[in-house]
Amino acid sequence: MSKQHVTVIMGGPSVEYEVSLDSGQKIAGHLDASKYEIDIVHITKDRRWLVGRDETEMPMHEVLARMQQQATTAFIAIHGTYGEDGTIQALLSHHQIPFTGSGIGASLLAIDKVTSQELFAAAGLTVIPTTICTANTADSVQVDDFPVIVKPSRLGSSVGVRIVHDESELQPAIHEALLLDQEAMIQPLIEGREIACGVLQKHGKNEALPPTELTPLISDFFDYKAKYQPGGTKETTPPDMDAAIIAKIQKAAIVAHEAVGCASYSRSDFIVRGSELFILEINTLPGMTATSILPQQAAAAGITFPELLDIIIANAGTTV
């Protein structure tokens, strides 16, 4: 029986570059070699395409033509810019190369937190009131009640996210966010329990995985350091919550997944305050590192990491 060819694509010109490499290496290392012929493409921060474990540099168009000739499936492990904004999906789609995860449209919508919030609200989910500012309007922003959260509107992994406690911290936080993105979001800080919940498409049906409660141990919130430093966060899957709240979270994760038009898998992040559930954002390509949440949730559902990769690859043909 011939093996299926899979190319893991990692890296990219993003502030999440290192995380992407971690995800890609873990994926490549856990794909079942008895089922797959495995190749690797490493896109550097300056957009050079390096192929194979010896990292031979090749022009982008030659790599894509090679992948098309190999009849490969691209396993996308690029987070943030280039991976979750529809860019790599557009390149692969143009060359008729099947790929994992969501398509171009859902990627564009999900990475834009402002637009996705509007879609979530239209689908009946509770979103946090948001003020948007740009470089032209930043100086005129007024906040009456602190603390607030300031974040870039189109980045992941909590890059550039800051808790602002008073007026003196506001403009520096906005300036930092605008160095990373064209828009900054300002939201009231909702005190509650932070929860993440994955959705996985199995046999054509979207199913919610057991959610995870995230309790940062080295930061005030689930920031970049808490997310990726081993031991930085206590992760409890499933959380110690009433079954009705867990079911509400899982239902909301599926609603968010479908509201944006995601395919195959996603992870949505929430704040639970009493009986209230606020959605924060959705990730179309959640991390696959040693500390990543989605593989932990799959394991809690009885799905091993290699089996999770099998499911995601099997869904690649359904990506739109």
Would you give per-residue pLDDT tens digits along the chain (320 residues)? 689 999 999 999 988 899 899 999 999 999 999 999 999 999 999 999 999 999 999 999 999 999 999 999 999 999 988 999 999 999 999 999 999 999 999 999 999 999 999 999 999 999 999 999 999 998 889 898 999 999 998 876 567 889 999 999 999 999 999 998 899 999 999 999 999 999 999 999 999 999 999 997 766 665 556 555 667 788 999 999 999 999 999 999 999 999 999 999 999 999 999 989 999 999 999 999 767 899 999 999 999 999 999 999 999 964 54
Distance of alpha carbon 211 from alpha carbon 256, whole angstroms: 14
For the stretch 115-119, contacts whose Cβ atoms lie closer than 8 Å and that sit 24 or more positions apart, written own/partner, are 116/259, 116/260, 116/281, 116/282, 117/279, 119/259, 119/260
Residues 70 and 205 both lie in one domain: no
Residues 166 and 135 both lie in one domain: yes
For residue 220, give the amino acid letter.
Answer: D
Distance of alpha carbon 72 from alpha carbon 47, whole angstroms: 21
> Which of 188, 215, 234 is at the close of a domain?
188
For residue 77, give the amino acid letter.
Answer: A
> Which of 171, 188, 205 is at the close of a domain?
188
Q: Is 251 helix (H, G, I), strand (E, B) or coil?
A: helix
For residue 84, give the amino acid letter.
Answer: E
Nearest to 239 by CA among 188, 191, 192: 192
Contacts of 172 (CB under 8 A, 6+ apart): none
Residues 206 and 296 both lie in one domain: yes
Q: For residue 142, report the phi and psi dihedrals to the nearest 5 degrees.
A: -120, 135
Residues 26 and 58 both lie in one domain: yes
pTM: 0.92
Residues 212 and 76 both lie in one domain: no
Residue 198's domain comprises 108-126+191-318
Residues 58 and 120 both lie in one domain: no
Number of Cα atoms under 13 Å in the Cβ half of residue 111: 21
What total number of domains does the chain contain?
Answer: 3
CATH code of 233's domain: 3.30.470.20
DSSP strand pairing (276-283 vs 126-127): parallel
Distance of alpha carbon 160 from alpha carbon 179, whole angstroms: 9
Residues 298 and 276 both lie in one domain: yes
